[in-house]
Structure 1
Amino acid sequence: MTGIDHPCSFHDLPVFTLPEPGDDRPWPATLPTPDAIAWRLESTWEGPEFAAVWRHFLTAVDPAQVRALVIGPWWQDDYSSLAPVVELITSDAARFPALRALFLADVVGEECEVSWLQMCDITPVLRAFPRLEELVVRGGGSGLNEETLELHPVRHEALKALRFESGGLPGHVVRAVGACELPALERLEVWLGSQWYAGDATVADMAPLLSGGNFPRLRHLGLQNSEIQDEIAVAVASAPVVAQLESLSLSMGTLSDAGGLALLEGQPLTHLDSLDLHHHYLSDEVMDRFKELSERDDVHVHLGEADDWDPDDEDDSRYVAVSE
């Protein structure tokens, strides 16, 4: 699961993993102040079930002061659906009046590959927490062909940042995001992934995201980790949303000269503070043109090294950064 790690901080708060009930490791004698950290909860293979961890959390910490939650692994023997966890969190929503940030499924490859995570409908989270400002969801389509991520269109007045980290994000989730009304949204990142893991979103599915109409305050857009990165770049080159952005990311995918030239020859990008294209398949000539854009117009273009690829190979060997 390349490029995915446990966050050290979340919502500008350091992440602290709550000791499990009965854990005899040398944890701090006193727990941190509830509003000073992002609380990470997990159920390990040897430890108690997540429901017990949740009950322990509600008794060990004043939930009314908690500002950020990070949910780690939640299963025990076999990978299981996130649905019971979402039900626990939303059923106790009234006890978390200060909650502003939630990270669902902070799981790395050693624990479970991103495309094997058993996800669920996350719409209840947005409905239960109308003051939520940041939501991160890791996981999407399932390599087990079982529980996949779902979202239904909602209106949410407070959400400022929304990120989906996925090795394969179903098209219906992308369409649902585009149909949501999020007037406060400033940052949107969508990792689209591989068709092998239900990443079947099309450029047409992304049309509402590119129009800018539903998200008037959007300043950062990431359409990343896609097998159709060139098609996305062509669409972005004339997309109305670009004019309102401060930063744009088309990184982690299969971007080649076709998409790179479309960006360079499309609408002006000189107003951007940053343009992230890392993990790409651009030629040296096109990379040089992006470097000129950076030097001439003070746009920070994050390129990194190009991945090896033979454009004449009939079997397209390009790959996304995060798939399984």
Structure 2
Amino acid sequence: MTENEHLDTDHPETFHGLRVHTLPPPDDAELEDLPEPDAVAWRLESGWERPPFPEMWRHFLDTVDPARVRALLIGPWWEDEYGPLAPALELIVSDADRFPALRGLFLADVTGEECEVSWLRMCDVTPALEAYPLLEELVVRGGGANGPKEDLRLRPVTHRSLRALRFESGGLPGEVVRALAASELPALERLELWLGSQWYGGDATVEDMRPLLSGGALPRLRHLGLQNSEIQDEIAVAVASAPVVARLESLALSMGTLSDTGARALLEGQPLTHLSLLDLHHHYIGEPLAERIREVCARAGVHVDLDGADDDWDPEDDERYVVVSE
């Protein structure tokens, strides 16, 4: 598996268990043969010779029965210049009563060719959770020091249906991590945080993550990803003794700057032999320790991913990098 396959920031072919279908613009011939509203995950995009997002949103509501829509992806929402997500999200929130079946929402299904992840002008995404109390999966891509009004934000929230939550960011604000730690998400089974680079606003600390690692905040958590971080070693040291790990089925500390320091902590910490998957791809672990991890995991039947080793890294220079930043 290549690093690009690991990263998977292209437009997904499936989302929330459904094939993704991009809604054609008005007057497109393909509108005559649309799939059933509940048979696909609908993707909306504007710009590039498509109408502005408000017009595409009205077109969507008039063309597809929103009461049957199960999953929705929001692609590029701007026209000529990058614009903030807030106006598009306001439309999605204001029409929430028309989407009683919506269970999956992907905000910012945008590739690097369309806009770098750290350039995406985001907003407070809490209203999406508040407006859709039956939502089961939320993916948010973006975040990276665009200023207080256009950076990714989250407030502490109670949501009793959400089962999967993923933030894909080149710089996840510590505010978002602290808000998650203060939220009540009793049904959450999968949590993935791409923490990113401090240069792009990724200022979360291990202390911000302590409530998530304690095991009490997320009682049903089975997969935890604390990834794409410049403090990957510090995270590994904390994870090595974190109570939440005992109930996990899979753990991802990938895409970041994990080195021998973090690898040694994982080997010397609590057993990880109950896991089905340990994902450490893109790392700076030396081959002797990497081989020890492979041997321990092989004996326990744990699949370990150690692809993407940086063999050219010079510890004296310590020029390590995360996979996703800009």
Structure 2 residue 193 is matched with structure 1 residue 190: yes
Tell me the residue number matched to 2:23: 18
For 2:250, give the aligned amino acid: S
Q: Secondary structure of the residue that 1:35 maps to in structure 2?
A: coil
Match of 2:13 among 8, 33, 36: 8
**Aligned equivalents of 2:315, 2:301: Cα separation in 1:** 34
1:212 to partner: Cα distance: 1.5
Q: Secondary structure of the residue that 2:47 maps to in structure 1?
A: coil
**Aligned equivalents of 2:157, 2:113: Cα separation in 1:** 34
Bigger Cα displacement from structure 2, 298-307 vs 54-63: 298-307
**Aligned equivalents of 1:179, 1:234: Cα separation in 2:** 22
Tell me the residue number matched to 1:74: 77
Q: Secondary structure of the residue that 1:169 maps to in structure 2?
A: coil
Output the aligned Cα RMSD.
1.4
Q: Secondary structure of the residue that 2:151 maps to in structure 1?
A: coil
Segments of structure 2 that go 5 or more residues without pairing to the other structure are none
Structure 2 residue 319 is matched with structure 1 residue 317: yes
- Report Cα offsets for 1:104-136 as digits up to 9, x if no partner: 000001100000000000010000000000000
Taking structure 2 as the reference length, what is the TM-score of the superposition?
0.96
Is the contact between residue 117 and residue 142 of structure 1 (CA under 8 Å) also seen in structure 2?
no
Map 1:1-324 → 2, pairs under 5 A: 3=7, 4-23=9-28, 27=30, 29-142=32-145, 147-314=150-317, 316-324=318-326
Is the contact between residue 281 and residue 309 of structure 1 (CA under 8 Å) also seen in structure 2?
no
**Aligned equivalents of 2:199, 2:148: Cα separation in 1:** 11
**Aligned equivalents of 1:116, 1:142: Cα separation in 2:** 8
- Report Cα offsets for 1:58-91 as digits up to 9, x if no partner: 0100000000000000000111110011100010
**Aligned equivalents of 2:61, 2:199: Cα separation in 1:** 39
Q: Secondary structure of the residue that 1:263 maps to in structure 2?
A: helix
1:312 to partner: Cα distance: 3.5
**Aligned equivalents of 2:130, 2:312: Cα separation in 1:** 45
Q: Secondary structure of the residue that 1:224 maps to in structure 2?
A: strand
Taking structure 1 as the reference length, what is the TM-score of the superposition?
0.96
Segments of structure 1 that go 5 or more residues without pairing to the other structure are none
Is the contact between residue 214 and residue 242 of structure 2 (CA under 8 Å) also seen in structure 1?
yes
For 1:253, give the aligned amino acid: G
**Aligned equivalents of 2:93, 2:245: Cα separation in 1:** 35
For 2:15, give the aligned amino acid: F
- Report Cα offsets for 1:265-313 as digits up to 9, x if no partner: 1001011010000000010001101110221000110111311344432
Q: Secondary structure of the residue that 2:10 maps to in structure 1?
A: coil
What is the number of residues matched between the two proteins? 321
- Report Cα offsets for 1:159-210 as digits up to 9, x if no partner: 0000000000000001001111000000000000001110010000111110
Change (3 A) 1:310 1:31: closer
Is the contact between residue 284 and residue 313 of structure 2 (CA under 8 Å) also seen in structure 1?
no
Is the contact between residue 251 and residue 279 of structure 2 (CA under 8 Å) also seen in structure 1?
yes
1:146 to partner: Cα distance: 5.8
Which segments of structure 1 move beyond 4 Å, counting only runs of 4 or more?
143-146
**Aligned equivalents of 2:75, 2:311: Cα separation in 1:** 35
**Aligned equivalents of 1:77, 1:144: Cα separation in 2:** 20
**Aligned equivalents of 2:125, 2:315: Cα separation in 1:** 42
**Aligned equivalents of 2:161, 2:89: Cα separation in 1:** 20
